[in-house]
Amino acid sequence: MPFTLESKTALVTGAGRGIGRAIAQKLAEYGAAVMVNDLDPAPASETAAMLPHAASFAGDVTEPAFAQQLVTATLDRFGSLDIIVNNAGYTWDNVIQKTTDQQFQAMLDIHLVAPFRILRAASDWIRETAKRETAEGKRVMRKVVNITSIAGTDGGAGQAGYSSGKAGVIGLTKTLAKEWGRYNVNVNAVGFGLIETRLIQPMTGADSSIEMQGRKIKIGVQPKTLEWAKTACPLGRTGTPEEAASAVLFFCSPLSDYITAEVLICGGGLHL
């Protein structure tokens, strides 16, 4: 093992299933303690139970007061916060003429506003801790990884809200990298292509849906779109959650200690 994350504490949002769970498992595999967040308590607890040193704190990251509660719970439980992975998200797609204000705002809230609030909530502890460590002659690197998408870098038809939120988080990433470099924090983003989760399952006559704040939202991708993506992708396939998690792991590790304000695309070469 070329590095270890022992003595590090990671906070991963949206970690109850899919890519988020794979990220939590990957960080734990390398020794990190993990605070698992998810909207749904049951999958959050299930993920935490799989890990050797973990806890869960369920709740809606889009609620204004929740970010501070989540950060405080992490610090109270583990005494540190060294890695933040803003992964929570979902898609709510439609062409622009059919996209409501509520739908557009919901995509900004989950993909951009929530990460902003979590990072703002963590800022006091990170800055004060870094100042103390510097005064003691220590340089302790901490990590922020914000999750974006090829829809944020390339745009995605039918995804005005999702693409805007994912593009916005890139701006947040680059700005915070400049603000927090002095505190020895690497701030980067990983952008995913089509990764095998419930959000890109083939749509059928019995389309799946998720419930968000009392709304039933259809999820999935048209089968012909999936076939096109596999043909257009240089690697000829969709990615796995474990492959997605490995890209995030790189930015959480000491291997990226001199890399900040960057966007790594984990999409098999696919461009929309």
Give pLDDT tens digits for 188-218: 999 999 999 877 677 664 557 777 777 777 7
Cα–chain center distance at 176: 16
CB of 162 closer than 8 Å to CB of 92: yes
Give pLDDT tens digits for 215-239: 777 777 777 778 888 899 999 999 9
AA identity, residue 186: N
Give pLDDT tens digits for 258-270: 999 999 999 999 9
pLDDT(85) > 80: yes
CA gap 231, 123 in Å, rounded? 44
How many beta carbons lie within 10 A of that of residue 268, not counting itself? 21
Give pLDDT tens digits for 18-66: 999 999 999 999 999 999 999 999 999 999 999 999 999 999 999 999 9
Which neighbouring-strand residues pair with 189? 146, 263
List the domain boundaries for the chain. Answer: 9-266
> Which residues does 5 contact at the CB level (< 8 Å), separation at least 6?
27, 30, 31, 32, 83, 252, 253
pLDDT(100) > 70: yes
- Set 30, 162, 183, 258: catalytic member: 162
CB of 237 closer than 8 Å to CB of 230: yes
Give pLDDT tens digits for 116-132: 999 999 999 999 999 99
Give pLDDT tens digits for 160-196: 999 999 999 999 999 999 999 999 999 999 999 999 9
Q: Which two tokens stand for residue 78?
A: 């583990």
Note if 183 is an active site residue: no
b/e map 102-124, b = 16+ CB within 10 Å: ebbebbbbbbbbbbbbbbebbbe
Which neighbouring-strand residues pair with 190? 147, 264
Q: Which fold has domain 9-266?
A: Rossmann fold (3.40.50)
Give pLDDT tens digits for 234-256: 999 999 999 999 999 999 999 99
AA identity, residue 5: L
Q: Which two tokens stand for residue 48?
A: 């935490």
